[in-house]
Structure 1
């Protein structure tokens, strides 16, 4: 499998492509990383250095890949955090070019906007751009519960409401929705869930909720779920593998006391997930 991953990059820590690439490589995926920013560290520190890469420069990199004759081999285009408005056009153009070269390729969009604790942390124009133009062009989308609510104008907190909101997203274009960070009122204390929905049904998995803020964990989740789903065609299997790997990554990070994901140290969790969590079909 080959994935063209158009995301941010940081020198220190693990977010964007700096979070997604290594876990994908560790499960045997060939990744072509295209960077939209090159920062010293993620912006959660409040200070960082390095450039936003202009949309024209990002497009040039993709054109150079195309000139090598590689696009027919691309199975997935993956995108995450979009630093500025212009990058959406570049991503959508790349998706169109890849799909023209390989009609079986899919586009997986992680519609990064924010979360329930921090609110929206992207440029003001990005959420509407994602909702109106980018998400409808995707085959797979991986919003967290907060982002799902924005995309649909709903409050998806119960399981039923979350399923209905996922169906609204699917009606706009994507076939498959992975909802992360699901915190419904009736779940057991100190747990968190993920929900996957496609044409064949809906499945949920519950894991312990660890007391840490882990920048980049959503990027790892989107990458692993996309790869597992693409390789197996089975949402339940992809959900189980992803939940196992990401929980073990987060647990190792929590135990380390470090702020940044212990991405390299947890590598066996991607290659050989323990499959320790049950996946339940809810529809």
Structure 2
């Protein structure tokens, strides 16, 4: 399997491509990474160095792969943090090129906008561009709860609210949705929920809630869900595999009191999670 991953990149730590590429490779996927930005570290530290790349660079790199005659072998495009609306347009152009070469290729968009407690943390114009242009073009989207609320304009308090928001998001275009973190009034205080919605139904995965908030976990779970969905064709199976692996990574990172996700040290959790969580249909 070959995945074109267009995301941010950091030299230190694990977010964006730094969080998605290795897990995919560890599971046997050939990844073609294109970086939208290259920073020293993720922005959660409050200070960083590096630059946002010009959108034209993305198009040039995709054209270079096309020149090699390899877009026909691309099974899917994965995108995350975009950096600018112009970069978003370049990603959509890449998706068009890949689909023209291989109509069976899927586009998975992690619509990075913000998070509960932090609000919107991307540049002005990007959230609206994602909602109006990118999400309608995606086959699969992987928002967190905050992003799902923003994209659909529907506040989430209960599981019923999540269902309504998913209906609205499906109506925008995506066939499959992974909500990467959900806390409703039905979620036990010591737990956190993930939810997948697609043609085969809606499934909820509940794992213990760890007292940790790590940048890059959402990038990893989006990549893993995309991979397992491509391999199995089942949203429920992909939810179980991705959620179990990321929980294992988070638990190992929490136990080590690390500020960065221990993707390399805990890589066995990617292949064979210590604990497998099974979703149930809702």
Between the aligned partners of 2:51 and 2:65, the Cα distance in structure 1 is: 22
Quote the offset at 1:213 in angstroms.
1.3
Q: Secondary structure at the match of 2:52?
A: coil
Alignment-derived partner of residue 90 in structure 2: 90
Counterpart for residue 26 of structure 1: 26
Per-residue CA distance 1:8-36 (angstroms, 9 max, x = gap): 10000000000000000111111000011
Secondary structure of the 2:6 match is: strand
Task: Find the counterpart in structure 2 of residue 133 from structure 1.
Answer: 133
- What's 2:162 paired with? 162
Residue matched to 2:257 = 257
User: Quick one: distance in 1 between partners of 2:113 and 2:47?
Assistant: 19
Deviation at 1:277, TM superposition (A): 1.4
1:105 aligns with 2:105: yes
**Greater mean deviation of Cα atoms: 137-146 or 272-281:** 272-281
User: Is contact 1:241-1:275 (8 Å) kept?
Assistant: no
CA distance in 2, matches of 1:157, 1:112: 21
Distance in 2, Cα, partners of 1:81 & 1:254: 25
Work out the CA distance in 2 between the residues paired with 1:274 and 1:281: 23
Deviation at 1:82?
1.0
Aligned counterparts of 1:266 and 1:168: Cα–Cα separation in 2: 37
2:47 equivalent to 1:47: yes
In the aligned structure 2, how far is the partner of 1:9 from the partner of 1:75?
A: 22
CA displacement, residues 147-175 of structure 1 (integer Å, 9 cap, x when unaligned): 00000000122111101111111111110
For residue 276 of structure 1, report the CA deviation from its aligned partner: 2.3
Q: Is the 8 A contact 2:200 2:234 kept in 1?
A: no
User: Within 5 A, what are the aligned runs for 1:1-283?
Assistant: 1-274=1-274, 276-282=276-282
Say which SS state the counterpart of residue 166 (structure 1) adopts.
Answer: helix
- Residue correspondences, number: 282
Unaligned runs of 5+ in 1: none
Cα distance per residue 1:102-130 (max 9 Å; x no partner): 00000000000010111110011011000
SS in 1 for 2:19: helix
Contact 1:20-1:223 within 8 A present in 2 as well: yes
SS in 1 for 2:265: coil
Contact 1:240 1:275 in 2 (8 A): no
* TM-score for both structures, normalised by structure 1: 0.98
